[in-house]
Amino acid sequence: MMQEITNIVLTKPFSLRDDSDSEENYCAPNLLQRLLSLLKNVRPGSDLSRFQLPPLFNFPKSQLQCYGESIYSTASSDRLLSKCNTGQSPIDRLISVVAWSISTTRPPMFGTAPYNPILGETHHVSKGNLNVLLEQVSHHPALSALHATDEKENIEIIWCHYPVAKFNGRSVEAQVHGKRQLKLLNHGETYEMNSPNLFIRILPVPGIDWIGNVNIKCIETGLEAELSYISQSFFGFGGNRRLIKGKIIDSLTSKILYKVNGHWDSTVTVKDTNNSDERVIYDAKEVITRLQAPVVKDAESVWQTESALIWSELSQAILNKDWEKAREAKKVVEERQREVMRERESKGETWVPKHFIVSQSKEGDWDCLPIQKWVPPSPIVTL
């Protein structure tokens, strides 16, 4: 279930369950009642970005780890990222990028959330030739930057995310602002895309799902995919859960080339509008089942800013369901961060990210550019 070396705690990624899985339950008892009690004094329309959750509502991961896992945690037989590179034509490559983008959608867990990363926190993991590095580059807004590179495939991934959660009385919607880029350097192609939003329904029927529109576009070719993530009705009854519908178009001519249909937790197909040929491009069971926790290969080389190290005592307490110890462990991390901030302010120092250059446009959009061309291998690895 976890790997622990010198206070480094790593847990399994969220994945689809199959018959061989034993479900890991991090939740406190009576979670729904506790959640209703927690939110009873929160006004509808409130921004929850500064809302501090007690450890009872945390699962043992930082938000940085969740972002990272959606890149590096895939079944060992999966080669979706490599397929993006090997497509013979621009349309083949776009279809592969659509499949890869869908693979970054992972099953969420109702009633629990990851830790809010502290400023300067990092998460660094390698999977084969793919090296993934994340850094929390801003606290308000909670801006997370990701850089992943595969020198063998000549692939680069850059993400810049900041979630904004709002309470709507009977539900919470977390909009994931920012952009994602996938660069296929051998082909001189950059694909820009966004993330779906997380919708948490509290009443009348508790539930959680990804919703919203995702646009994936190749800047150089003009090929584009428009996807809609569709959940059940607001009341939680009827309708298909985890549905994806969409189309692939040539934006230069507005011609629809393919229809996209399926479920992100099952299979997704594309149908050629010319000849009605239909094929499966994504099978979630092949990609996001039986995922294993990363392991530490060299504990002494793990950075002191690593998520799995910073939050290790809290994660271990949650795994043990020792809620009193969890509260103390979380308080220690938060107090240490406040102390560092006070010390920095007293010296008149401005904190600068170590791995990214952060900028903001006149329109208010954030951008995170990696300082290094290639991400180095990590002492934490996954298969």
Q: Tens digit of pLDDT per residue, the chain (383 long)? A: 444 445 899 999 988 876 445 445 555 566 666 666 667 667 777 767 666 677 878 899 999 999 999 999 998 656 899 999 999 999 999 999 999 999 999 988 887 889 999 999 999 999 999 999 999 999 888 999 999 999 999 999 999 999 888 888 888 888 899 999 999 999 999 999 999 999 988 887 888 899 999 999 999 999 999 999 998 655 555 556 799 999 999 999 999 999 999 999 999 999 999 999 999 999 999 999 989 999 999 999 999 999 999 999 999 999 999 989 999 999 999 999 999 999 999 999 999 999 999 998 888 889 999 999 999 999 999 98
pLDDT at residue 6, rounded to an integer: 52
Q: Tell me the two tokens of residue 337.
A: 């961060």
d(CA 23, CA 336): 34
Q: Residue 269 belongs to a domain with what CATH number? A: 2.40.160.120
Q: Where on the phi/psi map is residue 307: left (φ > 0), alpha (ψ -120 to 50), or beta?
A: alpha
Q: How far is CA 373 from the centre of its chain?
A: 22
pLDDT at residue 200, rounded to an integer: 86
Can you spell out the DSSP letters for 320-331? TT-HHHHHHHHH
- Answer whether residue 256 is part of any domain: yes
Q: Are 285 and 16 in contact (CB under 8 A)?
A: yes
pLDDT at residue 2, rounded to an integer: 46
Q: Which amino acid is located at 224 in the chain?
A: E
d(CA 313, CA 326): 8
pLDDT at residue 288, rounded to an integer: 93
pLDDT at residue 50, rounded to an integer: 63
How many CB atoms within 10 Å of residue 65?
27
- Answer whether residue 196 is part of any domain: yes
Can you spell out the DSSP letters for 50-61? TPPPPGGGEEEE
Can you spell out the DSSP letters for 173-189? EEEEEEEEEEEETTTTE
**Main-chain dihedrals φ then ψ at residue 173, nearest 5 degrees:** -120, 125
- Answer whether residue 335 is part of any domain: no
Sign, CA torsion 202/141/183/135: negative
d(CA 317, CA 320): 5
- Answer whether residue 16 is part of any domain: no
Q: Are 160 and 179 in contact (CB under 8 A)?
A: yes
Residue of 317, 336, 266 lying closest to 11 (CA atoms)? 317
- Answer whether residue 25 is part of any domain: no
Q: Where on the phi/psi map is residue 187: left (φ > 0), alpha (ψ -120 to 50), or beta?
A: alpha
pLDDT at residue 371, rounded to an integer: 97
SS3 296: strand
- Answer whether residue 331 is part of any domain: no
- Answer whether residue 332 is part of any domain: no
Total number of domains constituting the chain: 1
The single-letter DSSP state of residue 300 is G
pLDDT at residue 22, rounded to an integer: 47
Residue count of the chain, please give it.
383
- Answer whether residue 57 is part of any domain: no
Domain around 229: 31-52+63-114+121-298+367-381
